[in-house]
Amino acid sequence: MTGGWKVHWERARALRQPLAMLLAVAAGIAIAVLGDLWSREYQRNVVDDALISLRYAQNLATGHGLVFNPGERVEGYTNFLWTVLCAPVYWVTHAFGWSFVLGCVRLNLVVAGLNAILMYVIAQRLWQGRVLPLLAALALLVVDNSFVVWAAMAMESHLVTACMLGALAAWLSELRHRGAWTGALLAAAVMARPDAALFAIVFFPNVLPGILWRRKKPELRQWLWAAGVAAGLYGAYFAWRYSYYGFLLPNTFYLKVKSSHFDAVARGREYVTSFVVERGYLPLVPLLSVFWIGNTTVRTVLSWVLLHAAYVMYVGGDFYPGHRFLLVLIPMLALLLGHVVYGIGELVRKRGPRWLPVASGLVLASGLLVMVNQWRVLGLRYGPLNGEIRRWAHTLSANRAFSLWLRQRSSPDDRIVLGDIGSAGVYGNLLVVDYFGVVDPVVAHQDATTLGHGKPGHEKKATFAHCMETRPKYIKWGYLPGIFWQHGYYLDNQLPDAFNQPGLWVRDELRDTGRYLPGTRIGFDPGSYAGWAANGTAFASWPTSSASANQLPVVGAEGWFLSTYSPTSGDDATGILQSPEFPLVGDVMVLRVAGGRNPDQLRVSLKIDDRIVASATGSNSEILGRRVFDISAHKGQRATLEVLDDATGSWGHLLVDEIQQWQRTETKK
C-alpha cells in the first residue's frame, strides 16, 4: 500500500468511531420516532396489560402503595422496576395536566432508543469499532416491527433488554468498578422482569471459566463484585416483596402456570415456531454465531437466547400479536447477527488476498440489505402493526371512553366485575373484581385441570359467587356469563353508541331504598288480558315466550314478553296496544325495553287523560334494558300504557317486559 493510500486509509479508520456513534444515535431516534408514529395510529392507546402496571404506578404515586385496588396487596404485575419508574411520570404529568399514559409511552420510547446506544458501546469493544457489524445489528432493531411497535405500549421489555445490554457493556468496559455496575444492572434486569434471571444464570458461569483459566485476580474480584452486588440488591428486593405480598412468586405465575395438570409445551412450541416462521426463518441466521462460541459474550448471549426460547415454550407463550414474550430476543439476535458479520469479515481479512475484503464486504452488505428488507416486509405483514394497532385501535378507544364515562358517574369506592381491569383502573378509577384473576389470588390459585391448552392468562375464571362477595356496583357485559335481574341488578342498554357496549349491569339501588309493589306487576304471563285493546298486525299474537324466526336472540326476558316482531311479517308489522286504566300508587315505574330506537314510531308510553307523561323506546338491540318513569307527581291518578309500533324496515319492532311500580321507603327523622 502506497504512502498516499495509507494516509487515506488511516483517515477512514479515524472516522469509524464517530460514524458508528452517528449511526447508533440515528437508529435510536428512528426507533423513538417510528414508535411515536405507531402510538398515534393506535390512537394513543396501550394494551390492557400495560394499563395494569400503570394502575399500580398510579396508586404508588398517590400514596396507596404498590397495589391495584387500594388496601389489597396482590402482586398482579411482573415488572417492578418499570412500574416504579412510571410513578414519577405520574407526578409530572399530573402536575402539568398531561396524559399519564402517553408520558409512560414516551419514556419507554427513550428506553427503546437507548438499546441502540448500548449496542454501539458493546460494538466498540466486541467488534473493534467496525461499522458494518454495528450497522447490521442496528438495522435489525429498527426494522423489527414488534420491537418498535411494542416500544409504544409502555411495557417493560425494552427496559429489560437495556439492563441486559448495559450489563454486557459494563462488563466489557474498563470501568474501575465494572463488576459492581454489571451486578447492579443484572439485578435491575431481574427486577424489571423475573425471567431475566435466566440471563444472570447464564452470565456468571459463562464468564468465570475464562477468568480462572487466565488466572487474573483483578478479573476474579470484579466477577465476585458482580455476583455479590446482583445477589445483594435482588435479595433485598425479594425480601421486601415477600414481606409485602406474602407469596414467593407474582400472582400471575400462579394464574398462568400453577396447576396439577399444567402442560403448555404444545402451545409454546407453536408460539416459538411462529416467531421464526413469520420472520421468514431469518432469526436462525444469528445462530450461526455458534462458530464463534469461544467468545465469552457470544457464548453468553447465544446460551441465553436458547434458554429463554425454551422457557417461553414451557410456559406456553402469549396471545398478543408480535410475540411479546420473545421480544427481548430481538436485541440479542441483532448482537449475534453483528458478530456473524464481524466474524466473516475477520476470516476474509486474515486469509484472503488484499482485494477480497472489499469485494466480500460489498457482497455481505448486499446480502444484509436483502435480509433486513425482508425482515421489515414480513414484520409489516404479520407483526403487531396490523395484528394489534390497526385491528384494535378503535376498540381500545371505545373502551377508554367507556371507562372515562363510568368515572364521571361513580365514586372511587365502586367496584366493577370485568376482565380488562387496566382500563377500569387507570381511566375509570374504579375498584375491580378481576374475572380472570390477575389481581385476585383466589382465582389465580385455582387448580385448572386443562391449564396450558387455552388462551394464556384467560384459562382460570372467577365464579359468580366469588364475584358477588363484595357486592360490585357494575358487571361489565361479556365476561361473567348470565342474566342478573334476579340477583339485584338491572341492565342499562342505553349506553352511547361509541362505546360498542351492548349494555352494563348495574346494582339496583331501588331495592335498598324502597320496595317493588307486587300488585302492580305486568309481566305479560299467559292468561286473560281483559280490557287490553290490540290493533294491527304487530299484535296479531301476543304475548310470546321466544324470538320469532329470522329474529335475533332475545336476551334478558323472563318467561313471556311483548314483541311487535311478527312471525310472518317481521319488522314490517305495525300496530298499537292499549292497556286498561290502572292506579298509580308508587313513586317510580320500571320496565324493560328492547328493539328499535325510534322515539316517534316505536315507543311504550304512560298516558294520563290521553296525554303522554312518560315514554321509552329501544336501543337497536334485542337485549332488554331498564327504563324508569318518574310517577311521583302523578301518584293517586289513573293511567294507561300504550305500545306503539308504526315503524317498518330494519329494527322496526319493540320488545317490552316486566312493568312494575316501586315505592320509596319512608325514613324516620
Residues 440-455 have pLDDT tens digits of 999 999 998 889 999 9
How many C-beta neighbours within 10 Å does residue 355 have?
8
The residues that bridge with 598 in the sheet, in sequence order, are: 602
Residue 257 and residue 218: Cα distance in Å, rounded?
Answer: 43
Residue 23 and residue 277: Cα distance in Å, rounded?
Answer: 29
Helices 131-143 and 355-382 pack at an angle, to 10 degrees, of 10
Average pLDDT, integer, range 41-47: 97
How many C-beta neighbours within 10 Å does residue 520 have?
17
How many C-beta neighbours within 10 Å does residue 12 have?
10
CA distances (Å), origin 349, targets 123, 163, 352:
18, 34, 6
Question: What burial class does residue 268 get, using C-beta atoms within 10 Å of its C-beta: 0-12 exposed, 13-18 middle, 19+ buried?
Answer: buried
Residue 390 and residue 656: Cα distance in Å, rounded?
Answer: 39
**Closest to 72 measured CA to CA, from 56, 86, 85:** 56
The more confident residue out of 522 and 89 is 89
- How many CA atoms within 13 Å lie on the side-chain side of 254? 20
Question: What burial class does residue 601 get, using C-beta atoms within 10 Å of its C-beta: 0-12 exposed, 13-18 middle, 19+ buried?
Answer: middle
How many C-beta neighbours within 10 Å does residue 171 have?
26
Average pLDDT, integer, range 22-36: 96
Q: What is the pLDDT of residues 579-594, one digit of tens each?
A: 999 999 999 999 999 9
Ordered by start, the domain boundaries in the chain are: 396-514, 518-664
550 dihedral zone (left: phi>0; alpha: psi -120 to 50; beta): left
659 dihedral zone (left: phi>0; alpha: psi -120 to 50; beta): beta
Q: What is the pLDDT of residue 4?
A: 55
Task: Return the CATH number of the domain spanning residue range 518-664.
Answer: 2.60.120.200
- The answer to whether 439 and 419 are in contact (CB under 8 A) is no
- The answer to whether 520 and 661 are in contact (CB under 8 A) is yes
**Closest to 221 measured CA to CA, from 254, 261, 252, 176:** 176
- Give Cα 375 distance to the centre of its chain: 25
The residues that bridge with 660 in the sheet, in sequence order, are: 590
Residue 205 and residue 393: Cα distance in Å, rounded?
Answer: 45
Instruction: Retrieve residue 486's grid coordinates.
Output: 334476579
Which residue in the block uniquely carries the three cell numbers 321509552?
616
CA distances (Å), origin 537, targets 87, 565, 646:
63, 9, 11
Q: What is the pLDDT of residue 281?
A: 93
pLDDT at position 37 over 90: yes
pLDDT band per the 50, 70, 90 thresholds, residue 5: low
Instruction: Retrieve residue 23's grid coordinates.
Output: 449511526
Residue 311 and residue 475: Cα distance in Å, rounded?
Answer: 36
Q: What is the pLDDT of residue 529?
A: 80
Q: What is the pLDDT of residues 436-494, one digit of tens each?
A: 999 999 999 999 888 999 999 999 999 999 999 999 999 999 999 989 999 999 999 99
Q: What is the pLDDT of residue 559?
A: 86
Average pLDDT, integer, range 601-623: 95
Q: Which secondary-structure segment (H or E) carries 133? A: helix 131-143
Average pLDDT, integer, range 555-576: 91
DSSP one-letter code for 637: -
pLDDT at position 24 over 90: yes
Q: What is the pLDDT of residue 669?
A: 45
Instruction: Retrieve residue 489's grid coordinates.
Output: 341488578
**Closest to 159 measured CA to CA, from 220, 100, 107:** 107
pLDDT at position 351 over 70: no
DSSP one-letter code for 389: I
The more confident residue out of 546 and 55 is 55
- How many CA atoms within 13 Å lie on the side-chain side of 504? 22
DSSP one-letter code for 667: P
The more confident residue out of 520 and 4 is 520
Percent of the chain whose predicted confidence (pLDDT) is above 90: 82
pLDDT band per the 50, 70, 90 thresholds, residue 359: low
CA distances (Å), origin 648, targets 127, 536, 562, 570, 592:
76, 13, 17, 9, 22
